[in-house]
Amino acid sequence: MDNFDVVVIGAGPGGYVAAIRAAQLGLRTACVDAWRDARGKPALGGTCLNVGCIPSKALLDSSHHYHNLRHRLPAHGIEAGDIKLDLRKMLARKDKVVRTLTRGVAGLLRKHKVESITGHAALAGGGKIGVTPHGDGARRTLVARHIILATGSIPIRIPVAEVDGDRIVDNEGALAFSEVPRRLGIIGAGVIGLELGSVWARLGSEVTILETLDDFLPAADRRIAGEALKVLRRQGLDIRLGTRVTGARAHDAGVAVGYDDAEGSHEGEFDRLVVAVGRRANTEGLDPAAAGVELDDHGRIVVDAQCRTTADGIWAVGDAVAGPMLAHKASEEGVAVAERIAGHAAHVDHAVIPWVIYTHPEIAWVGQTATELDAAGVEHREGAFPFAASGRAQGSGETEGLVKVIADAATDHILGVHVLAANASELIAEAVVAMTFHASAEDIARTIHAHPTLAEAMHEAALAVDDRPIHI
């Protein structure tokens, strides 16, 4: 048996980061991961790096360039003539980005002397982990004083639309179409559905998104969500709310999809169908019960505020536990757990975790929405500033969207910031820092922002909280 101070199960953003931090703190660490790429080789980085965050952003970026070349650059006086799409090359670039980063993770583990072990891990109790390698290798038993479960999540399956990997796919399949579908159906108007829909719509697909909920992006600010819905529909995404899919049948020419809405029952025909109805905690094959690790009613690993499970010496982070399924949330929890194991103080403030949807414009927020504050009876003030009034946005032609700042009516402390903008994922960082240090709207209002920048919209929105914006 091999003995370690820490064994991390899972090498996604929560797992490999936890392993590196544990090794930095002098703990003998191993990281077990089962992921293999299309060639059957180990590929660290989990869902996010292999078939999630990274490849989707690579395709979003490539498709955005293609769309701009066809539709936006002529307004800048740039004519490109006959524009051709080489989808094979675009996908190859995406795959190269993934390979570069997975190899980078492997290099980071080697640098920090973390033993990387490929295989399926299962808990055995008493600090033991059984690892079954791919192929014919011998089963291995690891013993650890501490175990960190970072097993991530997997797509939710629905019986009315069973994924077959051909006509009906999940997010992984939707990142690898060999040709642009003429008609693409997507079940679910959440983050994954909107991002994948954006990719293929830019490349020429007629995209229809079927969403059960009547509200669009209910977790987002209502004004931001409303503006985003209008923008996305103008871009060609046919987003149908209040629509329940009743069945999907693949055939030689495509997929027939039945659905109900307020007007009755319908059937649509698509070349491909993407099932993007959310994700669930991945504990398959882990055998948590063997080690006394409890799961909740949703199949997530039960943890306390410090990420401790119900079993001594076993911790869990990321998508496998309750909370937002975000890579950066998993990473911060992984770091905090490693530091706690090493005897250090550690803290993750879940109230200031930023959310981002990488459509164009992007949607980002941190903190609470006005709806949540109204429900809680918290008096607040709001200030907003549209990018149509931004000099930098006008210069770039990216005028859609706005920044909204919400502050406590009594203390002026910032309670939430919501952004719809071309670079919302970058702009939200200022709000996260401000809220982490318990800043007020006045603090941002009195902070000098460079001109001309998109960040000035944050400044103006903070001024607007006190009814004194300058440029609108």
Query: Active-site residue numbers?
Result: 451
Query: From the CB of residue 82, how many other CB atoms can be counted at a distance below 10 Å?
Result: 4
d(CA 261, CA 243): 5
d(CA 197, CA 206): 9
Please state the length of the chain: 472
* Residue 409 neighbours by CB under 8 Å, 6+ apart: 379, 380, 381
Max CA pair span of the chain: 70
Q: 6-36 as b/e, with b when 16 or more CB fall inside 10 Å?
A: bbbbbbbbbbbbbbbbbbbbebbbbbbbbbe
Per DSSP (E only), the strands in 293-378 are 314-316, 355-357, 362-367
d(CA 406, CA 414): 6
Which class for 132: exposed (0-12), middle (13-18), buried (19 or more C-beta within 10 A)? middle
CA distances from 166 to 134, 178, 184, 254, 310 (A): 25, 11, 13, 10, 41
The three-point CA angle 196-202-206 to 5° equals: 80
The three-point CA angle 104-110-111 to 5° equals: 85
Reduced to 3 states (helix: H, G, I; strand: E, B; else coil), residue 118 is strand
* Residue 74 neighbours by CB under 8 Å, 6+ apart: none
- Rounded to a whole number of angstroms, the CA Rg of the chain reads 24
d(CA 209, CA 187): 6
18 with 346: CB under 8 angstroms? no
Helix (H) and strand (E) counts in the chain:
13, 22
Instruction: Give me the residue label for tokens 């399949």.
Output: 173
